[in-house]
A and B are shown apart, each in its own frame.
Chain A
Amino acid sequence: MSLILAFVPLIIVFGIFMIFISNKKSTIPKKTRLTSKFTTRLVVVYAFFLLASSITAAFISPSENTNEKVDITHLNDDLYSNLSNGIEEEIPANLILNEWTNEIEGDIFTLETQDAYDLPIVIMIEQVESTDKIVEATLYKGIYLVNEIEIPKYLENIEVDWQGDQLIVNIPTQDSVSMSFFRYDFTFTQFSGNASVDDSRGMSSSAQYPILYIKVPKSLTLNVDEERVEMVN
Chain B
Amino acid sequence: MSLTEVSLFNNVIKQIRYKIKSYTGIFHALVVLQILGLFLSTIGEGSMSEPGTFFSISVQYFTSGVVVGMTTFWLFINTLLITTKAYREDDFTFVTSRLSRLWANIGFVFLLSVIGAVSAHLAINALKVYLIIQNDELIMSNSLSSVSVITGLLGLIGYFILVSAIAYTIGSIFQRSKVIAILVSISFIILGNIIIRFQGEELIFQGLYFFTKEPNLALFWLKIIFTSSLLFLISWMMSKNQEVQA
Contact = CB atoms under 8 A, between A and B. Distances in A.
DSSP class of A's interface residues: helix, strand, loop or mixed? mixed
Given A1-B212, A11-B72, A205-B50, 9 more contacts: A4-B65, A23-B84, A36-B25, A40-B24, A118-B54, A146-B59, A151-B57, A189-B148, A192-B151
A67 B63 CA distance: 18
Contacts of B73: 7, 10-11, 14
A7 B163 CA distance: 12
B207 interface: no
Interface string A17-33: 01100110110001011
B139 interface: yes
A177 B53 contact: no
B22 A33 contact: yes
A61 B135 CA distance: 12
B89 A26 contact: yes
Nearest to B29: A39
B152 A190 contact: yes
B48 A14 contact: no
Contacts of B209: 197
A187 B57 contact: no
Nearest to A188: B152
A178 to B, nearest CB: 5
B57 A188 contact: no
Interface in B169-187: 170-171, 174-175
6 contacts: A6-B69, A32-B90, A66-B139, A178-B59, A180-B137, A197-B213
Nearest to A186: B212
Interface in B140-172: 140-145, 147-148, 151-152, 154-156, 159, 167, 170-171
Contacts of A178: 57-60, 135
B142 A11 contact: no
A53 interface: yes
Contact of A39 (B25, B119, B143, B156): B25
B111 interface: no
A14 B139 contact: no
Contact of A191 (B28, B84, B216): B216
Contact of A182 (B46, B58, B131): B131
Interface stretch (A44-52, A130-138, A224-232): A44-52
Interface string B118-139: 0101111110110110010111
Interface residues of B, number: 88
A95 B184 CA distance: 65
Interface in B184-213: 208-209, 212-213
B18 to A, nearest CB: 9
B246 to A, nearest CB: 15
A93 interface: no
A64 B138 contact: no
B57 A181 contact: no
A189 B147 CA distance: 11
Interface stretch (A83-91, A97-105, A168-176, A214-222): A168-176
Contact of A15 (B27, B55, B170): B170
A53 B122 contact: yes
A127 to B, nearest CB: 28
Contacts of A128: none
A66 B142 CA distance: 11
A116 B53 contact: yes
A188 B58 CA distance: 27
Given A181-B141, A185-B68, A190 B24 contact: no
B60 A181 contact: yes
